[in-house]
Amino acid sequence: MNHLYLKIRNITKETAEAITVEFENPDNEPISYQAGQFLTLIVNIKGESVRRAYSLCTSPLIHQHPAVTIKRIKGGLVSNYLNDTLKVGDTVEVLPPMGVFTTEFSENNRRHLVLFGGGSGITPLMSLLLTTLQSEPKSMVSLIYANRDADSIIFKKKIEDLQIQFKDRFNLVQIWEKTPLFWSKGHKGLLNTKMIRKILDSLPKSTAEATEYFMCGPNPMMEVIQKAFIELKLPLDKLRKESFGISPEEAATKKASILEESQKNNVPTEGYEVTVRYDGEEHKFMVPPDKSILQTALALDIDLPYSCQSGMCTACMGKCVAGKVKLDEEDALTPKELDQGYVLTCVGHPMSEGVVIVID
Ligand SMILES: Cc1cc2nc3c(=O)[nH]c(=O)nc-3n(C[C@H](O)[C@H](O)[C@H](O)COP(=O)(O)OP(=O)(O)OC[C@H]3O[C@@H](n4cnc5c(N)ncnc54)[C@H](O)[C@@H]3O)c2cc1C
Ligand code: FES
């Protein structure tokens, strides 16, 4: 995969915890991407090369220069490093834009996009929102945006400006955990089924031929939305999800369950040999039960594609053409991809002998 070396053109402080970093290609080649995709930033911290995914918050149809917004995570290695050290003029190594949290845009579309965003989850939604308003004159967008309080809202002013510019086609519903006294701009507290029902009922009735839902935010918020969709009998297949990561507790639960699964499948302590075909080469290596296929490959200096390393982004996707692989996170793949045998090497564990994975 060709790595890009992009120059930082501008940095904007969005909130006390988040910056937006705008890039340009020093070669003057345009950086082509689709709304909703992400960049993988590769940085060297204390001699170690680390990668993290950051969604593009810009629209390819509007902005000449792509940008990502990076919010600090408490104790987080890369988000804090980037917030603390990036400067205009720096060059950053990135992987080309990737991701499937996007949609086909057409000026003939007549649809209602309902976007559920929480905190920094607004970034890919902002890209989808801007692109829809710009390119689909007959479509409408509703943004249901949950934040801790007024000061933590990323893109507050930009969103307020869009409300004025597109008042007939853009509708904002705010949810704040902490509100000032006599606040009447939206809903107070955390999103729950009752609130979701109320919000969806209150959205302007559109003449849309179809309603499509996108969500990106903290995992507990997205679980509430998914459950509400089931309870309210809303079409789950129309609800698209982008997850940014998992908490240490969720990671520990997943690890425990994969070890249990390995025991159930009588996986030997030394694990199974896996064959990975990628970039014209074939690699064979043993994967022990407590390591993923990607983790093992990287430890052996085998160059495989990846970004998030937590089953969220699909950068490491390959097709399992023989043997059995268990994923400890499969949300990023569609049911069709799972049926076709696609796996994510970063969260994939061999459960049988003879596993062969082909990565395009
Ligand atoms: C497709 C994709 C797009 C993303 N887009 C953005 C974006 O636009 N803006 C942005 O700020 N971030 C985004 N992220 C998250 C980002 O890639 C990093 O995971 C995040 O910045 C934390 O990295 P870190 O090195 O600071 O934390 P780490 O050092 O990796 O983690 C520190 C601790 O925080 C926990 N943790 C990490 N991420 C989360 C999380 N999301 N929720 C709860 N706990 C967590 C970890 O389990 C760990 O214990 C995206 C992730 C993916 C997969
Ligand atoms: S590297 Fe992101 S899903 Fe595997």
For residue 244, the CA-to-ligand 1 centroid distance in Å is: 6
For residue 202, the CA-to-ligand 1 centroid distance in Å is: 33
CB atoms within 10 A of CB 57: 28
For residue 315, the CA-to-ligand 2 centroid distance in Å is: 5
Q: In CATH terms, is domain 111-242 a member of 3.40.50.80?
A: yes
The one-letter code for the residue type at 74 is: K
In the chain, which residue ranges form alpha helices assigned H by DSSP? Answer: 77-85, 122-135, 156-165, 193-202, 219-231, 248-264, 293-299, 335-339
Q: What Rg do the C-alpha atoms of the chain give, in angstroms?
A: 21
Superfamily name with CATH number, domain 248-359: Beta-grasp domain (3.10.20.30)
Minimum-distance ligand 2 atom for the alpha carbon of 307:
1
Q: Look at ligand 1, atom 9, and give the residue with the nearest C-alpha.
A: 70
| pTM for the model | 0.93
Q: What is the DSSP string of 165-184?
A: HTTTTEEEEEEESS--TT--
206 pLDDT above the threshold of 80: no
Q: Which ligand is nearest to the CA of 298?
A: 2
225 pLDDT above the threshold of 90: yes
Domain ranges of the chain: 4-98, 111-242, 248-359
Contact 67, 6 (CB under 8 A): no
Q: Find tokens 């992009």 and name the residue.
A: 6
Among 313, 327, 333, name the best residue to mutate to test ligand 2's pocket (greatest count of ligand atoms within 8 A of Cβ): 313
Average pLDDT over residues 82-86: 98
Domain at 4-98: CATH code = 2.40.30.10
Residues having CB closer than 6 A to ligand 2 are 306-309, 311-316, 332, 344, 346
65 pLDDT above the threshold of 90: yes
The average confidence (pLDDT) of the chain is: 94
- Tens digit of pLDDT for each residue in 141-172? 999 999 999 999 999 999 999 999 999 999 99
